Chain A
């Protein structure tokens, strides 16, 4: 029992880091511009496909292909903002919700037309690490490591660089930031790009150890919602910790209950948090 619990918790923790990176993307966009990016899942799926094609087409090592996926994510995010979101940024929330949602539909539609819903697999095995009673696949360890690195890089960017500070200023008070000379529109585009980039990177990481289809992003999007609300919408650190909590919870639940009860518990918790403490565990940006 103890080994099983330990193994489950460690598995959950490792994948929790990756969930956290995905959720950070979602929560960053909300924190800066009060927009819920409903194309989050589609972008994660595209990140998976991007990695797959770089791996099979160009023969690149997946971990070397990740930065390329990240750059592609950043650029697509900026593009998406400019085309779909910019015009309705100041409109009621319904408009931005539906705008990002329509982008989601288009991405899934094109993706399904091109790739169909057949499963794809990045055939990449690194072997496993035997650590006492646990066997940990290296790919998951590396993914967790990369996730921590990405989170650290994001933190550094937001707190130590000028563009990062500009983003935080716009998130805090857009009009005041504009009065201080910050080009808010460009900053908004950049932050949207960052959020999308994080989603793409998370997708790419997941592709290194799970098979996927164009629709896989859906489940992770729901996950990201739960995590973001858990950690507090708008709080990137909260999202990372929320990811860990969710991963640990998944590991814990599966030991004592049939594994299929995990989604019930997850979504039950989600609705509960929304009702009882919508600002999440670490406080949201309202």
Chain B
């Protein structure tokens, strides 16, 4: 990361968009808008972190939600049972997720291609089934927060705003992270692994280490966001924390926007979320969200594998500097 990186217009465009999205809710002070933006930012953060593995390294993780779930559980446990302050619990959640990623890195990252994808699904299900039976974490009925916990943060309304700002900060952090990785030597290493892992290793890239590092980095932010999300909701159950469909939606968002770019996951997440909101309350169309997602994913895969941003970059070479 050099000073030259900071002068890339793509960085400022991305930050600009994030700033606009982030400031909408506080500017209007509307709780409803804040809730929507919270989910929006959450999705952007997920998609960007998944992009580190899917886009840069080329490893499809179908179980990325496991980091969100585990981080959520550990964070929630620290908050409710151990009475840690929120910030510490959130960091604890992130660290737990990072730890899991490191362990996984040592084991399943040896697998290639489809085997790796299957293994990630297996991991998600195994962790969920384990937590389902793990009494300290509440077993199948999960854990819940006593309402008085919110008083420590100035009441429920205040606490909800605090979580919002925290998620905004985390989202900005992960987007910046993905930008800087892309422009660093480490990022180049990841991209070379994506293109041809064996050749990269021959050229001196320490593939196992690089992959594990990327995996760990991609796990931290979802873990921290998990802790924040379940703090906001006041309760956590295994079924909510390890929802496989959410993992899938993350993949759609990344592919839709353009894997391997910084702007792509953001755009993909924004579009997907807008559709979701619209379809949430429409009785006829509520399920069509999934159909639309599937159809757009199929079209992208068949015809424009680079996603929207990838397609734009191919068509408008002059804008490549801007459309990172």
Answer whether A and B are interacting partners: yes
CB A93 to nearest CB in B, in angstroms, measures 5
CA distance A54 to B289 in the complex (A): 29
State whether the Cβ of B118 lies closer than 8 Å to any Cβ in chain A. yes
**Could you give, for residues 115-153 of chain B, a 1 whenever the CB lies within 8 Å of some chain A CB and a 0 otherwise?**
101110111011001101100000010000000000000
State whether the Cβ of A103 lies closer than 8 Å to any Cβ in chain B. yes
Which residues of chain A are near B108, meaning CB under 8 Å?
A: 271, 274-275
Which residues of chain B are near A99, meaning CB under 8 Å?
A: 298, 301-302
**What is the chain B residue whose CB lies nearest that of A278?**
B115
Known contacts A267-B129, A274-B118, A278-B115, A101 near B297 by CB under 8 Å: yes
State whether the Cβ of A270 lies closer than 8 Å to any Cβ in chain B. yes
CA distance A95 to B299 in the complex (A): 11
Which residues of chain A are near B295, meaning CB under 8 Å?
A: 102, 106
Known contacts A106-B295, A112-B287, A113-B288, A98 near B133 by CB under 8 Å: no
CA distance A18 to B244 in the complex (A): 25
**What is the chain B residue whose CB lies nearest that of A262?**
B129
Which residues of chain A are near B244, meaning CB under 8 Å?
A: 218
Contact B113 A93, beta carbon cutoff 8 Å:
yes
Contact A110 B291, beta carbon cutoff 8 Å:
yes
Number of residues on chain B facing chain A (CB within 8 A) = 42
Interface centre among A104, A105, A263, A275 (most CB of B within 10 A): A105
User: Which secondary structure dominates chain B's binding surface?
Assistant: helix
Q: Which of B58, B121, B133 contacts A261 (CB 8 A)?
A: B133
Q: Which of A105, A108, A222 contacts B121 (CB 8 A)?
A: A222
CB B136 to nearest CB in A, in angstroms, measures 16
Which residues of chain A are near B323, meaning CB under 8 Å?
A: none
Known contacts A109-B288, A222-B125, A275 near B107 by CB under 8 Å: yes
State whether the Cβ of A226 lies closer than 8 Å to any Cβ in chain B. yes
**What is the chain A residue whose CB lies nearest that of B294?**
A105
Which residues of chain A are near B290, meaning CB under 8 Å?
A: 105-106, 108-109, 112
State whether the Cβ of A264 lies closer than 8 Å to any Cβ in chain B. yes
State whether the Cβ of B174 lies closer than 8 Å to any Cβ in chain A. no
State whether the Cβ of B255 lies closer than 8 Å to any Cβ in chain A. yes
**Could you give, for residues 39-76 of chain B, a 1 whenever the CB lies within 8 Å of some chain A CB and a 0 otherwise?**
00000000000000000001010000000000000000
Which residues of chain A are near B140, meaning CB under 8 Å?
A: 260
State whether the Cβ of A84 lies closer than 8 Å to any Cβ in chain B. yes
Which residues of chain A are near B305, meaning CB under 8 Å?
A: 91, 95
CA distance A166 to B115 in the complex (A): 27
CA distance A267 to B128 in the complex (A): 10
Which residues of chain B are near A266, meaning CB under 8 Å?
A: 129
CB B156 to nearest CB in A, in angstroms, measures 31
State whether the Cβ of A13 lies closer than 8 Å to any Cβ in chain B. no
**What is the chain A residue whose CB lies nearest that of B251?**
A98
**Could you give, for residues 86-104 of chain A, a 1 whenever the CB lies within 8 Å of some chain B CB and a 0 otherwise?**
0110010111011101111
Q: Which of A230-276 contact B (CB under 8 A)?
A: 258, 260-261, 263-264, 266-268, 270-271, 274-275
State whether the Cβ of B111 lies closer than 8 Å to any Cβ in chain A. yes
Contact B294 A106, beta carbon cutoff 8 Å:
yes
**What is the chain A residue whose CB lies nearest that of B305?**
A95
Which residues of chain B are near A268, meaning CB under 8 Å?
A: 126
State whether the Cβ of A14 lies closer than 8 Å to any Cβ in chain B. no
State whether the Cβ of A36 lies closer than 8 Å to any Cβ in chain B. yes
Contact B248 A94, beta carbon cutoff 8 Å:
no
CB A135 to nearest CB in B, in angstroms, measures 29
Known contacts A229-B118, A261-B133, A275-B108, A105 near B297 by CB under 8 Å: yes
Which residues of chain B are near A87, meaning CB under 8 Å?
A: 302
**What is the chain B residue whose CB lies nearest that of A222?**
B125
Which residues of chain A are near B291, meaning CB under 8 Å?
A: 105-106, 109-110, 113
**What is the chain B residue whose CB lies nearest that of A284?**
B115
**What is the chain A residue whose CB lies nearest that of B293?**
A105
Which residues of chain A are near B118, meaning CB under 8 Å?
A: 36, 225, 229, 274
Contact A271 B119, beta carbon cutoff 8 Å:
yes
CB A254 to nearest CB in B, in angstroms, measures 13
CA distance A106 to B296 in the complex (A): 10
CB B279 to nearest CB in A, in angstroms, measures 10
Which residues of chain A are near B122, meaning CB under 8 Å?
A: 222, 225-226, 267, 270-271, 274
Contact B287 A263, beta carbon cutoff 8 Å:
no
Contact B126 A271, beta carbon cutoff 8 Å:
yes
Contact A264 B130, beta carbon cutoff 8 Å:
yes
CB B270 to nearest CB in A, in angstroms, measures 19
**Could you give, for residues 105-131 of chain A, a 1 whenever the CB lies within 8 Å of some chain B CB and a 0 otherwise?**
111111011000000000000000000
CA distance A191 to B288 in the complex (A): 30
Which residues of chain B are near A226, meaning CB under 8 Å?
A: 122
CB A267 to nearest CB in B, in angstroms, measures 4
Contact A93 B129, beta carbon cutoff 8 Å:
no
CB B321 to nearest CB in A, in angstroms, measures 27
A-B contacts, 6 listed (Cβ < 8 Å): A93-B114, A101-B297, A102-B301, A106-B294, A218-B244, A274-B115
Please provide the 10 A-B residue pairs with the shortest distance between their CB atoms, ordered closest to farther: A105-B294, A109-B290, A109-B291, A267-B126, A113-B287, A106-B294, A263-B129, A102-B298, A102-B297, A112-B287
Using a CB–CB cutoff of 8 Å, the interface residues on chain A facing chain B are: 34, 36, 84, 87-88, 91, 93-95, 97-99, 101-110, 112-113, 218, 222, 225-226, 229, 258, 260-261, 263-264, 266-268, 270-271, 274-275, 278
Using a CB–CB cutoff of 8 Å, the interface residues on chain B facing chain A are: 58, 60, 107-108, 110-111, 113-115, 117-119, 121-123, 125-126, 129-130, 132-133, 140, 244, 248, 251-252, 255, 286-295, 297-298, 301-302, 305
